[in-house]
Amino acid sequence: MTPILAMTVDQLSGALGQAFHNGFRDFMVGTLVAALPMFWIATLVFYLMRPYAIRTLRKLSLRFAADVFWLSYVLIRDGTLIITFIVSLFFFYPNLLHDNPLPITATLSAVIVLWVLLIKMVRDPDENPADYRLSAVLLTIGSALYLVPLTLGVEVTSQSHMTWAVTHLTSNANFSVAIALFYVSLALVAATGAFIFGYVMTQSAPKREARAAAAGATATPPLPAR
C-alpha cells in the first residue's frame, strides 16, 4: 500500500473515488438486505389479511367508504408486492453474491414474487379461491427462502455454535451453490418475462369484435324520418 504522502494527485483522487464507491455500495447492500425482511413481512401480512378485509368491507354501510377501503387495501397489498420484487432484483449481481454475506436462496425468492405477479396478471386471485391459495402458498415459500437463510445464516455470525449455518446459508461462504442458484433463477426470470411479454402482446392485440363494436359506435347515425 502506497503511503498517502507519497501519492500523486491522480493516485489520491483515484483511491478516494474507489473508497467512496465501495463504501456507498456496501451501505446500499446492507440497507437493502436489512429492509427487505420488512417488505417480505408486509407483503405476506397484507396478502393473508384478505379475509379480514372482506369482513370489514361488509360492515361498511356507506358505498363510498367501502370503495375507498377496498381500493386502499388493494393498492397497499399489490404495491408492497411490486416493491419486494424490485428490491430483490439487486441479488442478480454475481459480484455482490461473491463479496457480501447474502442469503443463498435470495434469487429464488425473487422468482417466487415474479410468479405471484404472473398469477395476478393471467388469473384473478380475488375471485378464484384456488388462485388465491396458490398465491398465498407461493408467497409463504418465497418469504421462507429469504428470511430463513437471513436469520440463520447472515445474522448469526456472532454465534460460534452456528458456524455450519453461516457456511452453508450465506452466498460468499458457499458461492458455488449461490452462483448455481443464480443461473437457475436467471433462467426462470427470463422464461417468465418472455411469457409475460407474449401474453401482453396477445391480449393487447385488437380483437375483431372490438373493432366491429368501435366501427359501429363511430358510424354516422341515419337521419331521422320527417
Confirm if 157 and 101 have CB atoms less than 8 A apart.
Answer: yes
- Between CA 61 and CA 56 the distance in angstroms is 10
**How many independent structural domains does the chain possess?**
1
- Give CA separation, 63 vs 51, 55, 60, in Å: 19, 15, 7
Position with higher pLDDT, 166 vs 121: 121
Confirm if 171 and 100 have CB atoms less than 8 A apart.
Answer: yes
**Is it the case that residue 82 has pLDDT exceeding 90?**
yes
Does the pTM surpass 0.85? The reply is no
Which residue shows C-alpha cell 381500493? 71
The radius of gyration computed from the CA coordinates of the chain, to the nearest angstrom, equals 25
Cell digits of residue 183: 443461473
Instruction: Answer whether residue 21 is part of any domain.
Output: no
Instruction: Answer whether residue 7 is part of any domain.
Output: no
Instruction: Answer whether residue 212 is part of any domain.
Output: no
| Of 61, 86, 85, 60, residue with least CA distance to 73 | 60
pLDDT digits (tens, 9 = 90+) for 172-203: 888 999 999 999 999 999 999 999 999 888 88
Cell digits of residue 162: 452456528
Instruction: Answer whether residue 3 is part of any domain.
Output: no
Paired with 131 in beta bridges are: none
**What residues make up the domain containing 170?**
33-205
Instruction: Answer whether residue 222 is part of any domain.
Output: no
Which residue shows C-alpha cell 368501435? 214
Mean pLDDT rounded to a whole number for the chain? 83
Average pLDDT on 49-64 reads 88
Position with higher pLDDT, 206 vs 92: 92
Instruction: Answer whether residue 160 is part of any domain.
Output: yes
Instruction: Answer whether residue 18 is part of any domain.
Output: no
Instruction: Answer whether residue 145 is part of any domain.
Output: yes
Let me know how many helices (H) and strands (E) the chain has, helices first: 9, 0
pLDDT digits (tens, 9 = 90+) for 112-157: 999 999 999 998 888 889 999 999 999 999 999 999 998 888 888 7
